[in-house]
Structure 1
Amino acid sequence: MGHLTFQAQYLTHLGAKGRIVLPAEVRKVLGLKEGDRLLLRVREDGAIELLSAREVARRAKGMFAHVAPGQSLADELLTERREEAGQEGE
């Protein structure tokens, strides 16, 4: 994934039905494509923060790293779900 400097700024506009177009360079650098989910946060100061679902997951993983150090809780959950699905098919 590429890297934008913190001060990167782009002029965009509010379109029909409140849509905002993200510039192609931003989508490319962040690896975003049509249909990707984004989290929009409005801060108390009126600033808007836009995060990709991938970034939200990365931050959440970091927040809970102390719970099971050296283990991937997501991997464990996926393994459990696969085992449950296999048992249901038997």
Structure 2
Amino acid sequence: MNLAKISANGQITVPVEIRRQLGLKSGDKILFLQNQNGEIVVSNASAAAIRKAQAAFTGAAEAIGVSNEDDIQTLVDKARYGKEG
């Protein structure tokens, strides 16, 4: 169990073990979420944002026919030069 004391300004120091488990470093932001049981869960906000973006883009490459680096280069060339290759 890890405890943290709240200062008069509402600040807390996240225990080192928790910082390590969440992959937090100085300047990172933490996210407080309430789960379905009403419990508050703490998460690394950056990691949560990345997971949300990954979920949003799942299947996007397949949907536009991208399956390898050559397909990506073709898209880049088309965007840059208005043509393929």
- Using the size of structure 1 for normalisation, the TM-score is 0.51
Cα distance in 2 for partners of 1:33, 1:12 equals: 17
Identity of aligned residues (%): 31
Q: Structure 1 51/17 Cα, relative in aligned 2: closer, same or farther at 3 Å?
A: same
Quote the residue 1:29 is aligned against.
21
SS at match of 2:60: coil
The answer to which structure, 1 or 2, has the higher relative contact order (CA under 8 A, 6+ apart) is 1
Structure 1 residue 22: Cα displacement: 0.9
In the TM superposition, what are the counterparts of 1:1-90 in structure 2 within 5 Å? 9-43=1-35, 45-64=37-56, 65-69=58-62
Partner AA of 1:51 in structure 2: S
Query: What stretches of structure 1 move > 6 A for 4+ residues in a row?
Result: none
Higher CA-based Rg: 2
Say what the alpha-carbon RMSD is for the aligned residues: 3.1
Structure 1 residue 44: Cα displacement: 5.5
- Using the size of structure 2 for normalisation, the TM-score is 0.53
Structure 1 residue 34: Cα displacement: 2.0
Unpaired runs of at least 5, structure 2: 77-85
Partner AA of 2:48 in structure 1: V
Partner AA of 1:23 in structure 2: P
Cα distance in 2 for partners of 1:44, 1:15 equals: 29
SS at match of 1:62: helix
